Structure 1
Amino acid sequence: MFAGWRTGLSGPVIVLQAGTAVNYFGTGLILPFEIIYLHRARGFPTATAGLVLAAVMGTAAVLTPLSGALLDRFRAKPLLITGDLASALGYAGFAFVDRPWQAFVCAAVGGAGFGVANTANQVLSLTLVSAEQRASSIALRRVAGNFGLGLGATVAGFIIASADHLRAFQALYLFDGLTFAVFALVVLVGIPNPRRANAASARDRGTGFQAVAHDRLFLILIAANIVFVMTGGALFSNILAPFAEAHTPVGPGEMGIVLFINTFFIVVAQIPATRVVKRMRRTHALAATSALFAVGLLAVLLATLTSSTLTATAVLAGVAIVIAIGECAQFVVLGLIVAELAPPHLLGRYMSLYGLAFMAGVALGPAAGGALLATSPDAVWWGGALTVALTGAGLLRLGNRIPDPLLQTHYPPPQAVSLADLDSAGHSEVESKEMS
């Protein structure tokens, strides 16, 4: 198991992702209790509290493409530090809000920082490693985020359970802000500031997002990623709990165990799974991902066929593991393809739109799932399974259009012919003419 966790990554990359884990630990502290804090401790209506949280992700979504453009002009390290400091200010400010407008200001500042820092972290992680290490770097970043988020939520649950009052919530928000500041300090002191790749001509730089929009393969993969996040991640995380409570014998306690299994399995299996995925054709890996999500979503319906709490919990625990395996493959394969498709001078824009696709999936999944849950609950699962299965079939049809090291090994591209070979061929032709 420990051998499978060896990534071969350099010290700065390990330090960067350790800082990411600390950062996400702070986020986990407040994430499950934000509406509770704003409604119960500050007296905001639940609708207003929900809009405040929406403002965080809305601002992040607006700033994410802008951060991509900035990253194509400036180095990632200073932008990451700037984004983290903005998030530190915004989230620490939540501890002192007592009016809705103050909460919206903090949400805008914190969301802007998140939108910039998230993309900058991805770009910095990619620039610190070689092309062969990108998969391991992406996997380690995902492990760090999930580990920090899960641990933070667990610790916060114990804190709120033992001290459910205003000062406890304030302490959590202040500590969350502190983790952003600590992460900025880690990046400042422990992470190099690599130069961005040599840009193309001024004409190429001027095309900006227009150049990205002309990459049809990238747009197809972004659309597929939105479907994966909606069906595999968002439906499981946001819709399964209310569905299980209403239609299965599983209660909140058992659902807590199911969600823990999913997060724990991702943390433990992500890096070893990266080694497995490397041995697969990428189209096959994406098709397998869609198949896993489809099977997991359909298996949810099996939990409605039993009256036994233990049996239903076991079924949903199996669903959690299947979805986790699919997520492990999804993040590594799609992230790696996007990084390889991006020209060096457009890496920031490509990664920003890739991150924006995750935000879109996270937002659309609960919206679509919530609407179906109110009208046709079973349709959430078979409809989601059908959608992701069709997406996987479409990706499988892309075939050789998706860059794949395994294909390049078996079928070297014409550009691989060396100049020496061409020169030799030219001399042979001249000699034959002279002999004739």
Structure 2
Amino acid sequence: MIITSTGRRVAGARPFLVGMFADALGSGLYVPLTLLFIHQVTGLPLTTVGLGVTAAAVVGLAANPAAGALIDRFGARRVLMATYLLRAAGFAAYPFVDGFAALVAVAAVVATGDRAYYPASGSYVALLARGADRDKLYTLMATARNVAFGLGGLLSAGAVSLAGGAGFTLIAALNAASFLVATGCLVVSGRRAPAPATPREPRGYRAVFSDRPFVALVAAEQAFTLAHMILPVALPVYAVTVLGAPVWLTGVLYTLNTVLVAAGQLAVRRWQRAARRTHAMALAGTILVAACALYAATALLPPGAPRAGGLLVATLVLTLGELMHTTPSWALAAATAPPALRGRYLAIHQQTWAVAAVVAPGGYAALLDTEPSLLWIALAALLVPACLALLRLARRLPPDAVAAPGT
């Protein structure tokens, strides 16, 4: 069992977190090398792999709402187990892919499992714990995943270095095995976890969209998810092509962000314990606006070390904003949702990430190509009203969702 900061035991949490760690460790093996990994394992040309992965990602967009309905019908744990088994089957099948159609089919299975995982895992945490304990468990989950993901990236480099081309096949097998381990951990967790309540007459997505405060929360969340795309999508292009920074610097900044996110989750959670979730998110948004301003101001610094220092400072501020946003966002969405519709609520909440993943690459590139400062102005223009909306929502959302009981 996990004992939280409130002193209560959360039954089923420990095997769940072990499964999260195994899942993220396996995913960390391939995510940094996704296209190269699929190219090496299947032998297909990189252009074919790119088209196949894109087509599969489009299929995966439908997984979020479908998963929400299945969670409300069959329970979060069963759906979460299904996402693990889908991805295990997909990675086990990658070495047998021999054409474009097979690639799209296998990649779509993996993408479906990836997208459905997020509302399922969030719903399962909401079942395991309540109030402040739920916030703590979300924090522990994020910490475990970030640490494991970083370790997986190091192990993938070692596997490829030591085994050459065969290392990619080994990565596929290890990742498939990691999902099976995670499934077994969920079986153990389910024996200890509280039984889910029997839902009463779920009314479908119409009920979700008729909840205007929640829809407003999702709209605000969209601004935050777009801001989270700065580091993986916008910063490499901005730093290298606009500021003339060396390519290796973006790798250093990304690694620094990953390490600080993993190390800082628990400390930031302790700072936020007494804060209302809406206000904690609004403060996080304010910090993200400051990061945008710092990135824009870096262009005014002399080339070389001053600009590298400016990018470092801006990335540290961005990292703090990300840290302060993640746990309150998850916990607020889960606490706002009625138990019988929690799967659907969290699916819509998580769809903001899918939208950001589609919009950010092309949209950010277009803004940077037109006028680099437009990107930072546009993000700030989205975040400021999102922060104001969150402050207003503090009076419209359920009181026990805004301020966790026990804080």
Does the C-alpha gap of structure 1 residues 42 and 142 become closer, same or farther in structure 2, counting only changes over 3 Å? same
The aligned amino acid for 2:94 is F
Does the C-alpha gap of structure 1 residues 4 and 183 become closer, same or farther in structure 2, counting only changes over 3 Å? closer
Equivalence for 1:341? 336
Residues of 2 paired with 1:185 and 1:127: CA distance?
A: 19
The question of whether the paired residues in 2 share the 8 Å contact of 1:287 and 1:396 is answered with yes
2:143 is equivalent to residue 143 of structure 1: yes
- Larger-gyration structure (1/2): 1
Does the C-alpha gap of structure 1 residues 168 and 6 become closer, same or farther in structure 2, counting only changes over 3 Å? farther
Residues of 1 paired with 2:149 and 2:293: CA distance?
A: 27
Q: Return the match for 1:391 from 375, 386, 394.
A: 386
Cα deviation, 1:410-433, whole Å, max 9, x if unaligned, reads xxxxxxxxxxxxxxxxxxxxxxxx
**Per-residue deviation, 1:399:** 4.2
Q: Return the match for 1:402 from 388, 397, 403.
A: 397
**Per-residue deviation, 1:244:** 0.6
Residues of 2 paired with 1:305 and 1:96: CA distance?
A: 52
Other structure's SS at 1:305 match: coil
Other structure's SS at 1:72 match: helix
Q: Return the match for 1:224 from 214, 220, 224.
A: 220
Equivalence for 2:350? 355
Gaps of 5+ in 2: none
Does the C-alpha gap of structure 1 residues 9 and 141 become closer, same or farther in structure 2, counting only changes over 3 Å? farther
Equivalence for 1:213? 209
The question of whether the paired residues in 2 share the 8 Å contact of 1:339 and 1:347 is answered with yes
Residues of 2 paired with 1:102 and 1:406: CA distance?
A: 45
Equivalence for 2:133? 133
Q: Return the match for 2:229 from 226, 230, 234.
A: 234
Percent of residue pairs identical: 24
Residues of 2 paired with 1:85 and 1:397: CA distance?
A: 42
Does the C-alpha gap of structure 1 residues 402 and 26 become closer, same or farther in structure 2, counting only changes over 3 Å? same
Residues of 1 paired with 2:144 and 2:7: CA distance?
A: 14
The aligned amino acid for 2:341 is L
Equivalence for 2:319? 324
Which one is further off, 92-101 or 222-231? Answer: 92-101
Which one is further off, 57-66 or 85-94? Answer: 57-66
Which one is further off, 270-279 or 221-230? Answer: 270-279
Which one is further off, 281-290 or 350-359? Answer: 281-290
2:253 is equivalent to residue 258 of structure 1: yes
Which one is further off, 36-45 or 81-90? Answer: 36-45
Equivalence for 2:26? 26
Equivalence for 2:187? 188
**Per-residue deviation, 1:383:** 2.0
**Per-residue deviation, 1:374:** 2.4
Query: Size of the alignment, in residue pairs?
Result: 401
Does the C-alpha gap of structure 1 residues 85 and 360 become closer, same or farther in structure 2, counting only changes over 3 Å? same
Which one is further off, 188-197 or 334-343? Answer: 188-197
Residues of 2 paired with 1:319 and 1:43: CA distance?
A: 40
Which one is further off, 55-64 or 97-106? Answer: 55-64
Q: Return the match for 1:300 from 279, 295, 301.
A: 295
The question of whether the paired residues in 1 share the 8 Å contact of 2:5 and 2:136 is answered with no
Aligned pairs (5 A) from 1:101-140: 101-140=101-140
Residues of 1 paired with 2:397 and 2:25: CA distance?
A: 35
Residues of 1 paired with 2:4 and 2:182: CA distance?
A: 27
Residues of 1 paired with 2:7 and 2:138: CA distance?
A: 11
The aligned amino acid for 2:124 is L
The question of whether the paired residues in 2 share the 8 Å contact of 1:261 and 1:317 is answered with no
2:284 is equivalent to residue 289 of structure 1: yes
Residues of 1 paired with 2:73 and 2:258: CA distance?
A: 36
Does the C-alpha gap of structure 1 residues 397 and 96 become closer, same or farther in structure 2, counting only changes over 3 Å? same
Residues of 2 paired with 1:9 and 1:240: CA distance?
A: 42
**Per-residue deviation, 1:326:** 1.5
Does the C-alpha gap of structure 1 residues 62 and 407 become closer, same or farther in structure 2, counting only changes over 3 Å? closer
Other structure's SS at 1:401 match: coil
Residues of 1 paired with 2:402 and 2:204: CA distance?
A: 30
TM-score, with structure 2 as normaliser: 0.90
**Per-residue deviation, 1:190:** 4.1
Does the C-alpha gap of structure 1 residues 300 and 159 become closer, same or farther in structure 2, counting only changes over 3 Å? farther
Other structure's SS at 1:256 match: helix
The question of whether the paired residues in 1 share the 8 Å contact of 2:37 and 2:168 is answered with yes
Aligned pairs (5 A) from 1:84-99: 84-99=84-99
Which one is further off, 344-353 or 52-61? Answer: 52-61
**Per-residue deviation, 1:218:** 0.8
**Per-residue deviation, 1:406:** 10
Residues of 2 paired with 1:275 and 1:84: CA distance?
A: 31
Residues of 2 paired with 1:7 and 1:357: CA distance?
A: 34
The question of whether the paired residues in 2 share the 8 Å contact of 1:42 and 1:98 is answered with yes
**Per-residue deviation, 1:54:** 2.5
Residues of 1 paired with 2:132 and 2:350: CA distance?
A: 22
Equivalence for 2:169? 170
